[in-house]
Structure 1
Amino acid sequence: MDDARKASPHAAVVKVGQVLAQLKIAPSPRNYELIFEAMSGENPDLAAEILALGHQPPQAHLDEIGMRHKLPGHLSLVIDATRAQAAQTIQALDQPLSDSLTVRDQLGQQLHRFLDRLDRDPVAGMSEFADEARALRRMVAQLRDKEERVARALDETAQALDAFNTGIAEARRMALRDSLTGLPNRMALSVKLASVFAHDDQRRTAALMLLSVGGLRDVALQAGRPAAEQALRLVANCMREMVKRDDFIARNATDVFALVVFNVTESNALSIASRIKEKIEALPALPGVSGAGPLTVTGGVAVSTHAQHATHLLAQAEVALKNVRADTPGGILACTPALSASLIRTYAAHVVRNSASA
């Protein structure tokens, strides 16, 4: 499948739509996500599983693939499936509880009959009394057995529900985490940026830096995909070591990392991006990788004071990165008013309206 991440946003959507049509897959949002992930080249196993389904694959099989690979858009399916399992587990308690209550009722009725008989005939024969006592003893034993089963079932249900809760929490965590680097992913970045604009009265100035790492393709060609993945992990670790506790790092795309820092000016943000660039470009070559050039970093920067909302801020950083990639690869560029105005031609309408009025 083609590398969808290298295309422009509009072109990527068109390519995904074409593949959906070719495979006769319904154009739902989660199917768009699934096919985009397959086309990105980041998950060859996922792509192979989809291709193995052939034309017009059942939606249930596609959903299973998305859930198995923990795609963010399939998180709701994982949670729904877990809830259904939890409901079945709770329903399984119904029979043991019902059996226990039935025996309890029978024992109560037997006791009442026994006491009534004693009241009517206090001098009943010893053999009759012994028969009644044995019957009561058997019912008490049955009740004890049923209640022990209920206790075990309750304990097993509690453990199962704990496991379900853990599974849901893990699914949510994985939906916001990049599996290769362990960093937050693009969805987590969106959540973080939204929080920047959540409260106008408590808003902190934030700068968003998008840092594109060049040279990874050469590493992959020279030493294979595992070497390129190792290089990405080294870059992620390098960034972790350089940021402060309140800063936020995410892997935003195949070769793009995002950094959100607070209470800084545009000039500060450019300086931070330059220091990170120098550190990454100074990383030693991977063992066994010869012929590949050093890693390079190109960056786009945007500041929240010039943005109307989270999507606008991300769009500004992306357009800055796009332009510096085209004009000065290896440079760092802050979004200018002219670049922000260019969003009218390249981004969605709701971004256009806000950026045009800025």
Structure 2
Amino acid sequence: MQFDANASHQRIQLGNAQQQKPPVAQDSLQKITAFMAKHQIAGLPRNFELVYEAMVSRNAELARDLVALGTQPSQIALDHLGLKHRLVSHCGLADEHVQCEATAALKRLAEQVSLGLMRKQTFTRGLETIVKSIREDETRGLSEIMEELEFLDSAARDLIRDEAEIEQKLKAGLAQIEAAERTAEAARAMVLTDRLTELPNRIAFMNRLEDLYDRDSAPFGTAMLLVDIDNFKEINRQFGDEAGNKLLKRLAAVFRKTIKKHDFVARIEGDDFAFLFSDVGATEAQAIAERLRAAVENNLIFATEQGRSQGSLGLSIGFAMTADAATPSELIAHAESALATARTIPRHPVAGYGCERQRSMGRNVA
């Protein structure tokens, strides 16, 4: 693991504007339903997700875009908005639409190829008929033969022209299919990407974990780390959601720089992040967790608008090894258990599943 010990502190300006707490769960459904009814938005699951993200998850940009659509927004406008903000259901819809476009393009190409073959067969039959008539009637004059040859020449030119046209349509169709595939890949990537931090999301993490266990033999030598920001809810309550989002983005940038190419980090929920480190043992996993925590403490501090330092950002980290878990869910449970233990050690919030807690450990592996 490589950590930049000389990196300058990243000072996060949180601000000190107080914000109200998010609406309670029982009110959320009523507010969403009322908003959709008022604006005559169809009660589709993807529309519900759109309004939920704007009103409950407090995506300020999405909320502004949604209001800008006015009353009675079209479904097309709503779907474009969902795609813009990378909502899962809308990205899935885009993927389905792209597949339909690719299928339609393939059908058109098949029709063009079939038409080209039919024209070739017609030309071949005409040529065979003329050759047969010449062989069977040797008394035919040169003028008659020349007329038939001119007909063949004209038919051949038409065939060549048609072939060139089909070639252009084939190229255009293939280009459309390739563009559709790129769009589909982008849509699938959106589904697997956290909108705020641009890190892989929980779906991507679970896919990676499933792939790890989807082998003939049980996986060994991989460590899973769960990372939780200390007192993040209090930070959000005191300084507001926008400040919390800014902090998460900066934290994600630090995480992205502190892992190797073949390691993996994802934001799986709220202020929770998950890592997978390959080819390590429990001792190395412990050292990685220590370094990760130190990297954040050394490189991230936050302050109020008046510039007064509020200290460095603290993390709690729990880790577990694949050698101790037979399934992905068991590995997650082990890591969550270790994280719960880490939260109980304020001075040294790093713990491994099955490892003895060393409360007296004062060293910091950096």
What TM-score results when the alignment is normalised by the length of structure 1?
0.69
Compute the displacement of 1:197 (Å): 4.8
Whole-angstrom distance in 1 between the partners of 2:78 and 2:320: 40
Q: Which amino acid aligns with 2:255?
A: M
Q: Which amino acid aligns with 1:297?
A: G
Higher RCO (CA 8 Å, separation ≥ 6 residues): 2
What TM-score results when the alignment is normalised by the length of structure 2?
0.68
Q: Which amino acid aligns with 1:165?
A: E
The 1:20–1:287 alpha-carbon spacing in structure 2 relative to 1, beyond 3 Å, is closer
Of the three residues 349, 354, 359, the one matched with 1:332 is 349
Gaps of at least 5 residues in structure 1 are: 338-358
SS state of the match for residue 225, structure 2? Answer: strand
Whole-angstrom distance in 2 between the partners of 1:208 and 1:33: 30
Query: Is 1:301 the equivalent of 2:318?
Result: yes
Q: Which amino acid aligns with 1:303?
A: A
Query: Is 1:144 the equivalent of 2:156?
Result: no
The 1:201–1:119 alpha-carbon spacing in structure 2 relative to 1, beyond 3 Å, is closer
Percent sequence identity is 27
- Provide, for residues 35-83 of structure 1, a one-character-per-residue CA deviation record: whole Å limited to 9, x for no partner: 4433465743333344556788776665443334333344432222111
- Provide, for residues 174-200 of structure 1, a one-character-per-residue CA deviation record: whole Å limited to 9, x for no partner: 322235544222221222333455459
Whole-angstrom distance in 2 between the partners of 1:307 and 1:54: 52
Paired residues of 1:297 and 1:331 also in contact (CA < 8 A): no
Query: Is 1:189 the equivalent of 2:201?
Result: no
The 1:116–1:244 alpha-carbon spacing in structure 2 relative to 1, beyond 3 Å, is closer
Structure with the bigger percentage of helix: 1
Q: Which amino acid aligns with 2:131?
A: L
Query: Which segment drifts farther, 46-55 or 142-151?
Result: 46-55
Query: Is 1:206 the equivalent of 2:245?
Result: no
Gaps of at least 5 residues in structure 2 are: 1-18, 355-366
Whole-angstrom distance in 1 between the partners of 2:111 and 2:238: 61
Aligned residues: 326
Paired residues of 2:320 and 2:353 also in contact (CA < 8 A): no
Q: Which amino acid aligns with 2:54?
A: A
Whole-angstrom distance in 1 between the partners of 2:160 and 2:29: 63
Q: Which amino acid aligns with 2:269?
A: A
The 1:336–1:192 alpha-carbon spacing in structure 2 relative to 1, beyond 3 Å, is same
For 1:21, the equivalent position in structure 2 comes to 33
For 2:63, the equivalent position in structure 1 comes to 47
SS state of the match for residue 299, structure 2? Answer: coil
Query: Is 1:110 the equivalent of 2:126?
Result: yes
Paired residues of 2:227 and 2:339 also in contact (CA < 8 A): yes
Of the three residues 141, 149, 158, the one matched with 1:133 is 149
Q: Which amino acid aligns with 1:127?
A: S
The 1:303–1:106 alpha-carbon spacing in structure 2 relative to 1, beyond 3 Å, is closer
SS state of the match for residue 293, structure 1? Answer: strand
For 1:70, the equivalent position in structure 2 comes to 86
